[in-house]
Amino acid sequence: MASGSLYAVSDLHVVYAENRQVVEGLRPVRGDDWLIVAGDVGEFFADIEWALTLLRDRFARVIWAPGNHELWTPPDDPVRLRGVARYEALVGLCRRLGVLTPEDDYAVWDGAGGPVTIAPLFTLYDYSFRAPGVHTKEESLRRAHAAGVVCTDEMLLHADPYAGADDWCRARVGLTERRLAACDPDRPTVLVNHYPLVRRPTDVLYYPEFAQWCGTELTADWHLRFRAAAVVYGHLHIPRTTWHDGVRFEEVSLGYPREWRRRGVPRPMRAIFPALARV
Ligand SMILES: [Fe+2]
Ligand SMILES: [Fe+2]
């Protein structure tokens, strides 16, 4: 049994020099600590490789789930892959580094709080967290455009060969559901997703129109159906702990320098097990 801790972090956004410095300071407290990285490491392949290599060298195990930023095809990234091909290349990169992805067998944490199955997920969004008072995706997107609150994903995240992110999302939800249903039914899980699985955490967004890029109603009962001891997510850049149906949800984002500077010295690593304050 591992004597270390299971930590989590997300939204490292290493394109910012100050965030790279924060990542350079991330170290295990004990030699056998594990680290979950819940997406938005960066947009550029070289940046993602730099950060995951550094973390892989330090932590006993690193588990990654993709964020929307990893799936962007920025115009100045020499890697021109889009959509599913880009995701598959990221999985290939992680496999070369020995970092676990949603495509690998789920690891079992048997340290404090375990044994639990740690399931990194990739379910994207389908615009079902619609803007208030509207009933279709199209209406919701129109509302966002009118409010001037449009996620950069609309320009840089391509879903090829799917028609859109919502089709890709539905395909991912279907296959992920089957994998989770096949897990040991006696063992609790830690569900790791870039997005919050339930809509409630998005209620505090400053711009409610942004919620449509933050998840899907299709995962609303997964924390209960799949026995989550904890759900780890990011993307909102609102780090906090909330409880939904008695399940602990941890938003573990670092965020952009202008966001974390307000909170003082960044200490982004959150202990999932044992559940402690930040280190
Ligand atoms: Fe982010
Ligand atoms: Fe994100």
Q: In 3D, which of 275, 225, 217 has the Cα closest to residue 249?
A: 275
- CATH homologous superfamily for the domain 6-273: Metallo-dependent phosphatases (3.60.21.10)
The Å distance, Cα 187 to ligand 1 centre, comes to 30
Residue 120 pLDDT:
99
Cα(59) to centroid of ligand 2, in Å? 23
- pLDDT single digits (tens) 114-170: 999 999 999 999 999 998 899 999 999 999 999 999 999 999 999 999 999 999 999
Distance from residue 237's CA to the centre of ligand 2 (Å): 8
Cα of 139 to ligand 1 centre, how many Å? 25
Which residues contact residue 32 at a Cβ distance below 8 angstroms, ignoring those fewer than 6 apart?
2, 3, 4, 60, 111
116-120/189-192 β-pairing = parallel
pLDDT in tens, 4-33: 999 999 999 999 999 999 999 999 999 999
For the chain, give the percent of residues with pLDDT over 70: 98
- Taking the alpha carbons at both ends of the chain, their separation in whole angstroms is 22
CA–CA distance from 61 to each of 51, 64, 71, 123, 246 (Å)? 14, 10, 23, 23, 28
User: What does the pLDDT average to over 219-244?
Assistant: 98
Closest by CA position to 11, among listed 70, 73, 76: 70
Structural domain boundaries in the chain:
6-273
Which residues place a Cβ less than 5 A from the ion ligand 2?
Answer: 40, 67-68, 235
Nearest-ligand number for the alpha carbon of 9: 1
DSSP track, 153-200:
HHHHB--TTSSSHHHHHHHHHHHHHHHHHTS-TTS-EEEE-SS-SSSG
- Can you give the pTM of this predicted structure? 0.97
Cα of 173 vs centre of ligand 2, distance in Å, is: 18
Kindly tell me if the per-residue pLDDT of 277 is higher than 50: no
- The CA distance from 175 to 122, in Å, is 10
Q: What is the pLDDT of residue 276?
A: 65
Residues 6 or more apart in contact with residue 90 via CB below 8 angstroms: 45, 48, 66, 70, 101
Quote the tokens at residue 71. Answer: 């799936």
Report CA(214)–ligand 2 centroid distance (Å): 8
